[in-house]
Amino acid sequence: MPGPAATEQVLVPPLRQDLLTDATRRLVLIAMLVAFVASVGLVFSLVELSAGRGEPQTWVRMGAAIWMLSLAGLAAIGLRGRRLTPRQMRMVGTAFLMVLAVSSGLVRHLVAQGDSLAGTVPGIAVAVMLFPVLVPGTPRRAAFNGLAATAVDVAAYAALATAGLVPAADLWQMVATFRADLVATAVAYGIAHVVSSLEERVVEARRMGAYTLNRRLGAGAMGEVWTASHSHLARPAAVKLIRTDRVDDPFAREGMEKRFEREVQATAALRCPHTIEIYDFGVTADGSLYYVMELLEGSDLQRLVDGEGRQPVARVVHMCRQICASLAEAHEAGLVHRDIKPANIFVCTYGRERDFVKVLDFGLVKVAAPEQAGLTMVGAITGTPAYMAPEQTVDGRAVDGRADVYALGLLAHFMLTGRLIFGDLAPAAYLAAQRNRTPPRLEDAGVEVPSALQDLIGECLAKGRDDRPPTMDAVAERLEAIAAELPRWPPRAT
């Protein structure tokens, strides 16, 4: 389940969250810049001392430079590569601002004194104005940070005046000296207010019914997937968003809307725990389609095999049995998935269960009912070539559940060998191979499996659908018998 950072996303407005996501990197760059400036100041101080022109102010400047160089260096090293929560990011940013205020205040008051001091623009004023963008927060927080930095600047001046290093100033001199800090605070408040106003617009634009989009997980040519939070519930969710405005053809757009609605309704009607759960769906103000589903923690099969290579036989059988459970219910309801492939099989930790499989994306589902037959568009893509059944490559409207059986055979072969069954081919070549080429046996790829599993995969990959197992339940029964002869999966925790 989501960790602390994911939980806090629910509490942070989207625009501020987007800015905070990159705030660590920006702070590291600023720390490196401060370290560079401090290094230059240290060099100049050393040059003055070596030339015999050292004064008390030179020693103070050198001390401040060493202090800033040390802190900025530690900050750059400590923050590099770290992912902080928004709360931690604000705390670190505020602490860095205060240290910068006291150090730059000491140097500023020593370098420029009296009337010349009143005409300078302190570096802390620039930092205060930039802070709401670097580490975004509320206008009140921006004002608090600005006033705190001003107070620190005043305290630095008072300490120097008490030590006799700078002359004491009267009230008007004090106002002239620190007016830039106060103006910077007002500007920072205004910047934070603008950011907050933009946040309101972003929140409205990212609101999908009772859900608000937080962070984008992925995007394709037409769709996006986001993490989302509910306005009242703490339950995390994922939102699939389809942008119909990117389709110019009104007939194609209408077909897309119907297929999207069909996907949602088909998936929501299924109750198998191995099928992704749908919470809500609808249409946004700009006409985009969306549905809300459970947010899973894990990896799809494509990334899993790409990262780990070929999978153990027991694990493959374990996952295929779960896929069978999901598809058996779908077929019983008259639904054919038609796009079973590694990217649509998600392996996660579900409660206390490991290697729990969820079947995703029923976007190409075929509803096997007469009144729905007209929804499949002529020429529409009805699958992924590397995982399409032979009959699917000829007429996507003529498939039944045995097309998913064929795809399951391809999927099992991919998991056991770590590569596509016919290698890397162009899409058109793959369509021809699915129709005409004999699938290689697993032993030809150097993979040893029980003969019963080899026979089952071979039958699933039969070119004629009448030669395949008739149902997913039939496949599941044979997998159950095979699993009984294999080591337990997942292995017991030790």
Residue 336, SS3 per DSSP: strand
Query: Among 181, 280, 300, 339, which one carries the catalytic annotation?
Result: 339
DSSP per-residue codes, 351-370: TTEEEEEEE---TT-EE-SG
Strand runs labelled E in 52-158: none
Asked if the bond preceding 490 is cis, omega within 30° of 0, the reply is yes
Could you give the angle at which helices 472-483 and 451-460 cross, rounded to 10 degrees? 170
User: Which H or E element spans position 38?
Assistant: helix 23-50
Residue 54, SS3 per DSSP: coil
The span from the first CA to the last CA of the chain, in angstroms, equals 23
Determine whether 22 is an active site residue.
no
Count CA within 13 A, CB hemisphere, residue 432: 5
Residues 6+ apart with CB under 8 A from 478: 452, 456, 469
| Beta carbons of 384 and 341 less than 8 angstroms apart | yes
| Beta carbons of 340 and 404 less than 8 angstroms apart | yes
| Beta carbons of 166 and 107 less than 8 angstroms apart | no
DSSP per-residue codes, 223-265: EEEEEEEESS----EEEEEE-GGG---HHHHHHHHHHHHHHHH
Which stretches within 309-426 are classed as H helix? 313-332, 390-394, 401-417
Tokens 């927060």 sit at which residue? 137
Strand runs labelled E in 366-482: 366-367
Least Cα distance to 217 among 297, 97, 122 occurs for 297
Return the number of other C-beta atoms located less than 10 Å from residue 488's C-beta. 9
Distance CA 32, CA 73 (A): 7
Distance CA 219, CA 242 (A): 10
Catalytic positions, written as ranges: 339
